[in-house]
Amino acid sequence: MKIGSMLVDTLRSFFQKPVTQLYPFERQKTPERLRGKLHWDSSNCSGCCLCVKDCPSEAIEIITIDKQAKKFVMRYHADRCTYCGQCVKNCRFACIGMSSEDWELAAQTTAPFTIYYGEETDLEHLLERVPEPAAG
């Protein structure tokens, strides 16, 4: 039986640096496997849409520009994404990756959350043709 069994811990802490991180002034290195923003490389995409089918939050849309020439554009909704990484696992051609650096995704408007990936020319073609998706 004793009293003040945590006293030593508290006294020792007087001589230690605070554990709290001074974010955003000091940044810890993020782990290599951290699942941040999704990135898509259009060059190998076969348009199988397995990423779309298994996405639990309907965050991915693959828009076909030209099926014969395998031209696709991805519309990615970062605000719906749950960052589970299932699409990365599903993609047989390793088109999808999740960045361990790009994780500070907060924004004051919804616009930055709709992200288009694909070839420049395809994107221009798409944006002329398809109206902006409704919110939500």
Strands 38-40 and 71-77: unpaired
Q: How far apart are CA 55 and CA 104, in angstroms?
A: 22
Give me the residues that bind another protein (CB under 8 A), please: 1-6, 9-10, 19, 31-35, 53-57, 82-86, 89, 98, 100
Q: Output the smallest distance, CB 111 to another protein, in A.
A: 26
Q: Output the smallest distance, CB 40 to another protein, in A.
A: 18
Judged by CB, which is closer to another protein: 63, or 84?
84
CA distance between the termini of the chain: 59
Judged by CB, which is closer to another protein: 5, or 109?
5
Judged by CB, which is closer to another protein: 19, or 111?
19
Is there a contact between 45 and 70 (Cβ–Cβ < 8 Å)?
A: yes
Q: Output the smallest distance, CB 65 to another protein, in A.
A: 27
Structure tokens at 22: 């001074």
Judged by CB, which is closer to another protein: 62, or 73?
62
Is there a contact between 59 and 77 (Cβ–Cβ < 8 Å)?
A: yes
Q: How far apart are CA 64 and CA 59, in angstroms?
A: 17
Q: Output the smallest distance, CB 68 to another protein, in A.
A: 26
